[in-house]
Amino acid sequence: MFERFTTEARTTVTGAVAEARRAGAGVVTEEHLLLALLAQGALDPLGVDRAAVTAGLAEARRRGGMTRADEEALAGLGIDLTEIVTRIEETHGEGALSGTAPRRRGLGASLRSALGRPESNNRHVPFTPGAKKILEQSLRIALGRGDRHIGTPHLLLALLSRPGTVAEVLADHGVTLAGAERGLSA
């Protein structure tokens, strides 16, 4: 499938891996794909404010990745997500829910560290099932549009086509699937 990716799309995928490494995450998520698209300027033609979207992602992470739909569902059960986040942060510190699980170090990494050698930046960072679905969906979108290659617009449309935090944050900043399809087709 990656042979169909344009240079920009490949740069986005490698950028997502770099974003995950920079964040100390053990996996590449949909959020990392979005951050890589933002860094490349792939959303600039849609008038997206990079800083505002990044702040929206940070706020979603603070809530433990819960979407407004999740928050509403919990509220229907009488559970106040804001109160839960506040209590957890009072006990464990601000942003306690936003932290990624620390990556376990293998014996090789521990030995390199003990010997004073830096950890290689080439370590494998796997993609979450959700991030893999985005890549698969981008292929379906490209084929559905009659395109021979998968580009950054296809990755963006795939991110927007799947419900979740990334699509919600983008929608909060005026980027919807329908709007992106129109904006990217023009």
The answer to whether 13 and 39 have CB atoms below 8 angstroms apart is no
In the predicted structure, residue 174 carries a pLDDT above the cut 50? yes
Residue 147, CB half-sphere, CA atoms under 13 Å: how many? Answer: 16
| Closest to 64 in 3D by CA, of 50, 51, 81 | 81
Is this model's pTM higher than 0.85 or not? no
Report the amino acid identity of residue 1.
M
Q: Per-residue pLDDT for 132 more than 70?
A: yes
CATH class held by domain 2-185: mainly alpha
Q: How many helices (H) and strands (E) does the chain have?
A: 10, 0
Parse the chain into domains and list their residue ranges: 2-185
Query: What mean pLDDT is predicted for residues 10-21?
Result: 95
For residue range 87-103, list pLDDT tens digits in order: 877 787 776 666 554 44
The residue among 183 and 179 whose pLDDT is bigger is 179
Would you say 9 and 151 are in contact if contact means Cβ atoms under 8 Å apart? Answer: yes
Residue 101: predicted pLDDT: 46
Is the pLDDT confidence value at 183 over 50?
A: yes
Provide the pLDDT confidence category of residue 143 given band limits of 50, 70 and 90.
Answer: very high
* Alpha carbon distance 177, 27 (integer Å): 26
Residues 27-32, mean pLDDT to the nearest whole number = 94
- Residue 72: pLDDT over 90: no
CA angle 158–28–129, rounded 5-degree value: 60
